[in-house]
Amino acid sequence: MSARICTSVPLVAARDGAVVIESSCGRSFSVTAEVAMQMSEHLIRSAARARGQHRMAEQQTGEA
């Protein structure tokens, strides 16, 4: 499965006791507050990993 890459921050709001995430790519879904908190933790860890991977790639190619 190939993920579509969005380059802008999604809209996130609390509605009727749920967290609603609306992507600029056209996707929208609702999750519980607990799931939103878990997603946040996973996003932060994955973002840090991706940043590290990008830096390592730059060092290997001599960019900076």
What proportion of the chain, given as a percentage, has pLDDT over 70? 91
Amino acid, res. 59:
Q
The pLDDT, as a whole number, for residue 2 is 66
The label of the residue with tokens 């380059």 reads: 7
Phi and psi of 13, rounded to 5°? -145, 155
Q: What is the pLDDT of residues 24-42, one digit of tens each?
A: 878 899 999 999 999 999 9
Q: In whole angstroms, what is the distance from residue 5 CA to residue 24 CA?
A: 10
Q: In whole angstroms, what is the distance from residue 26 CA to residue 22 CA?
A: 7
Q: How confident is the model at residue 23 (pLDDT cuts 50, 70, 90)?
A: confident
The pLDDT, as a whole number, for residue 64 is 55
Structure tokens belonging to residue 2: 């190939």
Structure tokens belonging to residue 4: 């579509």
